[in-house]
Structure 1
């Protein structure tokens, strides 16, 4: 593995992990284009490390909200009163649990299928296409006014909406390439959550979901870490690059959210699917 590889893969992970474009598809395509020759164990170790870096980046962005959910942050007020007096107006651990338990449960139950079949090229290619269509149709319905918007911020999200997001996220849990962020953002919009709040909630619940998933992968590949299957310098380089890029991407995406329509991501996914077919499946 070359230094150039670790930098490029760190950039790709940071760019795609939280955007609705499928980090899985991009990592597979990038590895192929780079002529990546490392063993599967070495590649898995590297991907675990750079994914953990992306988790830390998103946790940094939402650090205040994390503290508030656990009752440790600065108290917000509504007309001079603490939001604790308005429990329905504050995101809490129940919302988070409803958003993460369904996909984590499904992923655990189907873990063998995901490991053996889910990452094959054909399923990932079709996930890119179907996921793009799903996001495109959802945004069309949302923009048409047929969906009543009832939650403008994360604190407005109801338990029912959080559960809907968690349930629909199950598709991405068992179908690599579908995009976890794409499925959650679109699910929120289908349930009447604003685009911004859907994106915020998607990024926020990614922290515990990815932490659990990464922890599981670390335990499953602990021998690779102990044996030093890959150079520490490469791991550190990929980690730093992934962290910085992921942080920049999320901050920029949230600041210019209205310019990033889901249909644009859908079109992008179709292009990536075409490249996927040309460079990997043919």
Structure 2
């Protein structure tokens, strides 16, 4: 029963934080420390529940995904009108290439030296500062929807995604802030961040899973399944809610949350 409670808690943490600009990796490392759930099995479990969160976004943006794959030619609006999508695979490729390349080159270094509570705290703080900076610099909007994002903007957003290779920085935080810096509005930046997350995270999670599949066992099927399902449901709800919230409160409150979380964890956990 204790294991299933951990699965539910970590599934909620993953689903709630994966697509919010507050760092899911950072939260999972910190919550894992609090729950005393660490080690190879914990890392494999995190990969599995991350796939649950990815699947939720793929379902939410299924029209976009099928369109990018050439299986659907248009998007159906709320009025049931079909409109052409200008977002294509080239946007996705140029956006994910920089981080994928750096991730492959630095994978061992990142996993060996950067996955600790201390490095997460650094990522939370610096990532928060970057988000506030992007918010203040977001003056001239040239892309109000994902279909107005240019190839150059997509590439520059992809460059900002490299920052998220540091645990605690937040992939969505880096890409949304990067979008604001290159002229997108908040909604376009967030939706583009969610869409490029699908191939990016599938590739990263698949690579990690291949390297750690030996830690999976038949006895853990129920435990992993619970975490996967909880993560899927919570991520679905979080993405829908976040898009509405982001347009009202912007990025700055999330940055302040990161600072508070880092301070509390430092005071009560690491110093204790």
Name the TM-score, length of structure 1 as normaliser.
0.89
Aligned position for 2:4: 3
**Cα 1:66/1:280, change in 2 over 3 Å:** same
Alignment of 1:9-20 (within 5 A): 9-20=10-21
| Cα contact 2:97–2:158 (8 A) shared by 1 | yes
Who is 1:128 aligned against? 124
- Partners of 1:165 and 1:57 in 2: CA distance: 23
TM-score, length of structure 2 as denominator length: 0.93
Contact 1:121 1:280 in 2 (8 A): no
Q: Secondary structure of the residue that 2:74 maps to in structure 1?
A: coil
Measured against aligned partners, the alpha-carbon deviations of 1:98-146 in whole angstroms (never above 9, x if no partner) come to: 110100100110111101111122221111001001101110121xx3x
> What residue ranges of structure 2 are gaps of 5+ in the alignment?
none
- Alpha carbons of structure 1 residues 35 and 259: separation in structure 2 relative to 1, 3 Å: same
Quick one: distance in 2 between partners of 1:75 and 1:126? 43
1:190 to 149, 161, 181: 181
1:64 aligns with 2:59: no
SS at match of 1:18: coil
Deviations 1:201-220 (A, max 9, x none): 00000000000011001110
Q: Aligned pair in 2 of structure 1 residues 74, 270: CA closer, same or farther (>3 Å)?
A: same
Change (3 A) 1:9 1:82: closer
RMSD: 1.8
Q: Mark the runs of 5 or more structure 1 residues left unpaired by the alignment.
A: 84-88
Matched, 1:139 2:115: no
> Does the 8 Å contact 1:53/1:242 carry over to 2?
yes
2:212 to 199, 205, 221: 221
Corresponding residue for residue 86 of structure 1 = none
Q: How does 1:49-128 map to 2 (within 5 A)?
A: 49-75=48-74, 83=84, 90-128=86-124
Query: After the TM superposition, which parts of structure 1 deviate over 4 Å for at least 4 consecutive aligned residues?
Result: none
8 Å CA contact 2:74, 2:82 repeated in 1: no
Aligned length: 266
Residue 168 of structure 1, CA deviation: 1.3
The aligned counterpart of 2:250 is 261
The separation in 1 between residues aligned to 2:44 and 2:126, in whole angstroms, is: 29
Deviation string 1:164-193 (CA, Å, 9 cap, x unpaired) is 0001111112x1110000000000110001
